[in-house]
Amino acid sequence: MHRIPLLLALLLPTLPVAAQEDPRDIADIIEFRHWAHANPELSNQEFETSRRIAEYLRGLGLEVHTEIAITGVVGILDTGRPGPVVAMRADMDALPVEDRTGLPFASTKTAEYLGNEVPVAHACGHDIHMSVALGTAKRLVAIRDELRGKVMFIFQPAEEGTPPGEEGGAKLMLDEGVFDIARPQAIFALHSQPDLAIGDVGFIGGPAYAASDQFVIRLKGRQAHGALPHLAIDPVVMAAEVIQALQTIRSRNLDPQAAGVVTVGVVNAGQRYNIIPETAELQGTVRTYDGEVQDMIERRMHEILAGITGAHGGEYSMEYKRTAPATVNHFGLTDWAREQLRPALGEEHVKYFPPVMAAEDFAYFANEVPGFYFWLGVTPEGKENSALHTPTMRAEDEAIPVGIEAMTALLTRFLEAPPEL
């Protein structure tokens, strides 16, 4: 059995924040989650989400800052007594994914993405993250008189990545001075995890998420009739060889114990079946945990491209962009956080979880101050769930009070007695 109530007051009527006497009554938080899930907004478009969050935080009596990195919101809980400063982050944006969860509040929204009208859904659980942050703020406001120091509640836009040509996310929040409002001594965040049961949280010290790089490769040959290949320099053949050869970086250049992924996700070439085109384009991603491995992969990609195109008499160019560094949990903060979570949730519910090759721009915050990022179970015990970023990934309301309990424990205990980091 879970040690904390999972269906906490879900059936109670929604009341204005000021009228709610019990901070554990999260009916209004559940109502917000349902609204957010039904009304998802893409990266840098979180205008209504941002407005509602700011309104709720003001209703709690927090100092509120808005329009940071376009739609970002920061709420400051100042106890009025000197003490530590600590932060938690929640991301706000949704994905261009169809919602097939079957939830009664499933999204039917669409939006423009890369020139196309697409369905939009919270297929990564950010609606859960926002709800946990609001519920935690509510809990801490109720015990403000028992606390000292300050808590920053950072609601970040564009975690999933900005549209082409735009800036955003954690990096832009830092560039625009979010830590000038108050500089935390540590920062915490959580993420919905369909592989964990409700009631459980997962953690790891060190690398938790990978660095994310993007590349665009353009191969140039010589166009010819499809029946006269000897007159061509075929970029399609070059592309095929490049795709195969890039996989040898993982299998033959990396230490078998080192982590690294090279994936080609887009291949574009040609317009007609009987014409060998002049150019071909490949797009993809590289994921690593280690900067030296990251450097080596980029260098080997250039060497492979130069060798293959040179052998064919063609040419290449490559745009290589490092979009987010690895998210690395501070070892000391991780050890401390584990010991706070165990009494709060029950030792059996605080579990080791392996690092993930997906990327997370919480890394920018954790590169500025010690950070701890952990995973929150969102799947009922014994049930199967779909992976993140898929139409049927389904996070349940019952995960929210677990997240609130975990975050409340971390933030309050940090204010009481921060670890030496």
pLDDT tens by residue, 225-281: 999 999 999 999 999 999 999 999 999 999 999 999 999 999 999 999 999 999 999
| Whether residue 79 sits in one domain with residue 148 | yes
| Whether residue 358 sits in one domain with residue 281 | no
pLDDT band, very low/low/confident/very high, at 23 (cuts 50, 70, 90): confident
| Whether residue 388 sits in one domain with residue 296 | no
> Residue 22's pLDDT is what?
78
Give the span between the Cα atoms of 100 and 249, in whole angstroms. 37
**Helix, strand, coil share of the chain (percent; to 5):** 35, 30, 35
Inform me whether the pLDDT recorded for 17 exceeds 80. no
| Whether residue 245 sits in one domain with residue 336 | no
Question: Which residue type does 324 have?
Answer: A
> Residue 11's pLDDT is what?
31
| Structural domain count of the chain | 2
Residues of the chain with pLDDT > 90, as a percent, come to 93
Inform me whether the pLDDT recorded for 1 exceeds 70. no
Residues of the chain with pLDDT > 70, as a percent, come to 95
Give the span between the Cα atoms of 66 and 46, in whole angstroms. 12
| Whether residue 169 sits in one domain with residue 225 | no
> Residue 298's pLDDT is what?
98
> Residue 163's pLDDT is what?
87
| Whether residue 333 sits in one domain with residue 319 | no
Query: Would you say residue 74 lies in a domain?
Result: yes
Q: Which residues of 111-120 are buried (b: 16+ CB within 10 A; e: fewer)?
A: eebeeeebbb
**Which residues contact residue 311 at a Cβ distance below 8 angstroms, ignoring those fewer than 6 apart?**
none
Query: Would you say residue 58 lies in a domain?
Result: yes
Query: Would you say residue 304 lies in a domain?
Result: yes
Q: What separation in angstroms does the CA of 340 have from each of 140, 189, 191?
A: 16, 15, 18
Query: Would you say residue 203 lies in a domain?
Result: yes
**Which residues contact residue 131 at a Cβ distance below 8 angstroms, ignoring those fewer than 6 apart?**
29, 30, 32, 33, 36, 400, 403
Mean pLDDT in the chain? 94
Mean per-residue pLDDT, 108-132? 97
Is the Cβ–Cβ distance between 78 and 69 less than 8 Å? no
pLDDT band, very low/low/confident/very high, at 24 (cuts 50, 70, 90): confident
Q: What separation in angstroms does the CA of 192 have from each of 195, 220, 243, 314, 395?
A: 9, 43, 33, 46, 7
pLDDT band, very low/low/confident/very high, at 6 (cuts 50, 70, 90): very low
Domain boundary residue, one of 324, 356, 391: 324
Range of the domain at 126: 17-210+326-416
Query: Would you say residue 8 lies in a domain?
Result: no
Mean per-residue pLDDT, 88-113? 98
Cβ-based neighbour number of residue 22 at 10 Å: 10
pLDDT digits (tens, 9 = 90+) for 291-345: 999 999 999 999 999 999 999 999 999 999 998 999 999 999 999 999 999 999 9
> Residue 4's pLDDT is what?
38
> Residue 2's pLDDT is what?
36
Domain boundary residue, one of 265, 298, 324: 324
pLDDT band, very low/low/confident/very high, at 367 (cuts 50, 70, 90): very high
> Residue 402's pLDDT is what?
98
Give the span between the Cα atoms of 349 and 21, in whole angstroms. 29
Give the span between the Cα atoms of 22 and 16, in whole angstroms. 12
Alpha helices in 324-394 (DSSP H): 331-345, 362-368
Domain boundary residue, one of 288, 308, 324: 324
Is the Cβ–Cβ distance between 361 and 189 less than 8 Å? no
E strand or H helix that includes residue 128: helix 126-142
Mean per-residue pLDDT, 121-129? 98
Scan for tokens 């100042």, then name that residue: 78
| Whether residue 66 sits in one domain with residue 171 | yes
Mean per-residue pLDDT, 110-131? 97
Q: Which residues of 160-174 are buried (b: 16+ CB within 10 A; e: fewer)?
A: bbbeeeeebbbbbbb
CATH number at residue 172: 3.40.630.10
> Residue 164's pLDDT is what?
85
pLDDT band, very low/low/confident/very high, at 21 (cuts 50, 70, 90): low
| Whether residue 161 sits in one domain with residue 52 | yes
